[in-house]
Amino acid sequence: MLIRLPSGQEIDNIPGESILKALKRHGIYLVASCGGKGICGKCHIRVLEGTFQTTTSGKLDFRQTDSGSVLACQTYPEEDLSIDIPKESKLVVGDIIETARATDLLGLFQTLDGTLSPLVQWISLQIPQPTIQNNFSDLERLIKALEGQNIKDLIFSHSFVLSLADSLRQAGWQIMLGYTGNKEVFSLSPLPQKERFGIAIDIGTTTIVVYLVSLSDGRVVNVGSTYNSQIRHGDDVITRIVYATENAGLQELMDAVVNDVNTIVTQLAENHGISQDDIESAVIAGNTTMAHLFWGLNPAYIREEPYIPTLNEFPLWKAGAAALAMHSQAPVYTLPCIASYIGGDIVAGVLASKMHRHPEISLFLDIGTNGEIVVGNNEWLVTAACSAGPCFEGSGIKQGMRATEGAVETVKINRQTLDPSLGVIGQGKPLGICGSGMIDAISELFLSGVIDQKGRFIKESKTDRIREGFEGVEFLFYQDSQREIVLTEVDIENILRAKAAIYAGISLLLKKTGFSLNDIEHIYIAGGFGNYLNVERAITIGMLPDLPAEKFIFLGNTAIAGAYLCLLSENMRKEAEEISRKMTNIELSVSRQFMDEYLSALFLPHTDISQFPTVADLLKKK
């Protein structure tokens, strides 16, 4: 059977294959946050012509189903079909996306260390030419020259020795030899040596960021980023892990992330006339699942009790093992992970925040696809993953989406008319609502008296925007001929759960360590979402603690910053490893105390309003 797309393209459909899978097989990807399980409702399409079977309509309401909308993952053609794919259902990955460039990383490096000592060290060697009297082999000759510089016991790989004889002669026996911290010889090059490059990679569940860095001076040459194309198989680490355990899923996920990185690296290198072989080292920061998937390691046991990763401290493997588009023998340093749900991105973040160097107590918060919290100082560090879930990236929210064009990012509600005014990314028509928009919306709905402390709609509110929807009560934010944008009570519940998880995590870590909110000197907010976050609104809904604005510091992407630091310096790598050894992970999912904190935090802003004095003031004013 054939499926005809709006473009006129026709693709074949294998019997028993859903439309989602048929499209996927032809390289056409839809948003499928749940991984195609019929739960998230994001892959909706319209069938214009033809009969089909559909097993569930998920989150679609009758208005949508009436107009021919179905979930692509649950729909099986019975004859040739013509379909239409609405804009919000299309998944855009693979393109290089815009990303905020980290501010003055070189400056950060200089304040922290300043000594350039990348993964590959280079030494200049003048090797005596062989003669009939001095007829040692090439390798013995090289080893003797190294011993003359007091460098011993290096390990020579087969691939290095393969080109040794010719390389030595072509270089006229005057060479630079590169070797790694674990004594493996990397490569040799003739004099004068060319500029050397490395890449720092942040593998986020949603976004991949790559910095191309000059290892000669630490300069960031260029930056690229893209959505992690693993998104095709689900939004959060759990859906990815599930996918990895199916058929060839693991290999597919590994290929996806490596291809993403390679696409960026290839383009960056090309733009700057850099040969891939001149990229001699890489550092990777990612959460534990992302690090596992990058290296092709089975992540199944991360998800199963007792939640065991294959490894947290990664040996220095070679780029060739992951088929990265750089020198195949290049060492790749993976930032150490702490536990199944606290990864190298958090270690990188702490490193970049410098909180581990100072005696005052800081709180580090990374709200990305999941939420991770670190509390501590130069003596101790505790951390927890608070399973906030990817709702702030749109997942699990009926019309949620990432902070890309068309996303509602700010919401104001007129206290009298209760009509909203929306700020949309790109100034066009809204397609959905992103994380900062959700926080704004709930904060405004709450302060306007449209929802109560439990997030339930107060039906007596004087507006007809509150209405009964397919999934219960909802608030209509926007309407045009093509779509309506609502926030349902279920959506609000999901957002409250996420914010409660974050706040409860913070509370619990403080209690466990015997400190209170007032003991916190700095709150570091990391992650892409942090950039758009309105602290005041986040306090209003009880997501962030009610502390003075000046204590909040936005750090941007600290995962890439930490990876960059480790790319440049042995000291930074040691410091990251010390951080990882020092950090204690608290497993929240098994803590009864956490459950208590969480239930209290499910309210707006909290059952204990005394923890939110400024919000209490706002409510009083109302």
- Catalog residues that contact a second copy under the rule CB under 8 A: 130-132, 135-140, 155-159, 161-162, 164-166, 169, 182, 295-298, 300-301, 305-313, 315, 317-318, 321, 339-340, 587, 590
| 309 versus 556: smaller Cβ distance to a second copy | 309
Q: Across 149-278, where does the E strand assignment appear? A: 174-180, 185-190, 197-203, 207-214, 220-227
Residue 201 CB, shortest distance to a second copy, in Å, is 17
Q: Examine residue 306 and say whether the peptide bond preceding it is cis (omega within 30 degrees of 0).
A: yes
**Contact at 8 Å (CB) between 347 and 337?**
yes
**Contact at 8 Å (CB) between 539 and 615?**
yes
**Residue 168: both structure tokens together:** 């030595």
* One-letter amino acid for residue 60 of the chain: L
Contacts of 46 (CB under 8 A, 6+ apart): 67, 68, 69, 70, 83, 84, 85, 86
Residue 426 CB, shortest distance to a second copy, in Å, is 43
**Residue 484: both structure tokens together:** 């309506």
**Residue 529: both structure tokens together:** 């979402």
Residue 104 CB, shortest distance to a second copy, in Å, is 35
Distance CA 233, CA 248 (A): 12
For residues 206, 441, 400 and 350, what is the CA-based torsion angle, rounded to 10 degrees?
10
| 146 versus 544: smaller Cβ distance to a second copy | 146
> Of 561, 557, 566, 550, nearest to 526 (Cα)?
557
Phi-psi sector, 202: left (phi>0), alpha (psi -120 to 50), beta = beta
Distance CA 316, CA 464 (A): 61
Residue 139 CB, shortest distance to a second copy, in Å, is 4
Residue 133 CB, shortest distance to a second copy, in Å, is 8
**Contact at 8 Å (CB) between 402 and 206?**
yes
What distance lies between CA 403 and its chain's CA centroid? 14
Residue 242 CB, shortest distance to a second copy, in Å, is 16
* One-letter amino acid for residue 384 of the chain: A
| 140 versus 147: smaller Cβ distance to a second copy | 140
| 110 versus 251: smaller Cβ distance to a second copy | 251
| 111 versus 135: smaller Cβ distance to a second copy | 135
| 168 versus 441: smaller Cβ distance to a second copy | 168
Residue 328 CB, shortest distance to a second copy, in Å, is 13
**Residue 344: both structure tokens together:** 């190298």
Residue 457 CB, shortest distance to a second copy, in Å, is 40
| 297 versus 538: smaller Cβ distance to a second copy | 297
| 112 versus 164: smaller Cβ distance to a second copy | 164
| 283 versus 500: smaller Cβ distance to a second copy | 283
| 160 versus 211: smaller Cβ distance to a second copy | 160
Residue 246 CB, shortest distance to a second copy, in Å, is 15
Residue 402 CB, shortest distance to a second copy, in Å, is 31
**Contact at 8 Å (CB) between 388 and 498?**
yes
> Of 406, 367, 387, nearest to 523 (Cα)?
367
Alpha-carbon Rg for the chain in angstroms: 27
Residue 261 CB, shortest distance to a second copy, in Å, is 16
Percent helix, strand and coil across the chain, each to the nearest 5: 35, 25, 40
Contacts of 452 (CB under 8 A, 6+ apart): 458, 604
| 486 versus 588: smaller Cβ distance to a second copy | 588
| 310 versus 377: smaller Cβ distance to a second copy | 310
Distance CA 342, CA 562 (A): 15
Residue 269 CB, shortest distance to a second copy, in Å, is 24
| Cα separation values, 182 from 155, 315, 478, Å | 9, 10, 59
| 275 versus 589: smaller Cβ distance to a second copy | 589
**Residue 146: both structure tokens together:** 């190294």
**DSSP class of residue 590?**
G
Residue 303 CB, shortest distance to a second copy, in Å, is 12
| Cα separation values, 589 from 470, 496, 542, 586, Å | 32, 17, 21, 9
| 93 versus 311: smaller Cβ distance to a second copy | 311
Residue 312 CB, shortest distance to a second copy, in Å, is 5
Distance CA 285, CA 202 (A): 5
3-state secondary structure of 196: coil
